[in-house]
Amino acid sequence: MTVKMIAVDMDGTFLNEEKQYNKARFLKQYQQLQQRGIHFVVASGNQLSTLKNYFPEIAHQIAFVSENGAYVTDAEQEVSFAHFSHDLVDEMRTQISERYASALILCGKQGAYIGQAVPEQNLEKLNKYFKSLQRVDDLAQVQDQICKVTLNTSDYNFDVLYQDLEQLNCIANGSVKMVSSGFGFIDLIVPNRHKAHGLQLLQQRWKISNDQVLAIGDNYNDLEMVKQSGYGFAVANAVDELKQIADFVTAKDNQHEAVLDVIDLVLMRHAPFECQHKKSA
């Protein structure tokens, strides 16, 4: 078994329901990963500033594939940033605002933006996921480069909203990719700029092949990276679609340090991960 990169999703995977992890255990593991020359990558739908907040001790050293793959950095150096054209952002903002203005979040390189229609009671949830969040008078005046448009579905029927979005021209014609990232959020992202693409850019940078990558996640926005990786993991609490394409499913869930157990298996050079449940052939 040769693993040279470990890529982890955060919410529902690395983090527990309180959005925490066993930091003391992980930092000891991280030191060993460094000694072995194994790269640790955070691959999440969250914005970069939010992700860095979880790793204050090592954020300046590690790589992040944030915004569902749109923004890739390595040791605080920008590797790639994909964003929508100004006209496409205007089209999405205008059409979505007609019915779902209170759900709309524009995600850019400098931060995330909400309009006046977002209810005050929704801010507690949003502030957990967006550490750089601004309320503005007019979303049309936001000058940032927008790499993702997110909808918080808390106040709506998820399935109805999802079906409505599918009717948007930009989604129907493939200009925009829609994905559920879990926890009541729907993300509209730049096509083919998903987490797997972000990992590929880092792999090229570090000369790492797919079969040397271990990726672990829990939701629909993890499908590409788990399928692409030589060692694709789904945590026990993952959606069924991810479990079906993963090579391995952990015995534990995100509440019980499933990812840290997998890292231990790598460090102990267990192959082929005897303590995990192999996907049925």
Residue 254: half-sphere exposure toward Cβ, Cα within 13 Å: 24
Concerning whether 240 is annotated as a catalytic residue, the answer is no
For 82, phi and psi rounded to 5 degrees? -105, 135
Q: How many CB atoms lie within 10 A of CB 155?
A: 14
Out of 9, 11, 74, 218, the active site residue is 9
d(CA 171, CA 165): 7
d(CA 213, CA 3): 6
Longest dimension (CA), the chain: 55
Name the residue type at position 182.
G
Give me the count of residues in the chain. Answer: 281
For 67, phi and psi rounded to 5 degrees? 50, 40
d(CA 239, CA 41): 22
Q: Are strands 39-43 and 5-8 parallel, antiparallel or unpaired?
A: parallel
So which residues are the catalytic ones? 9
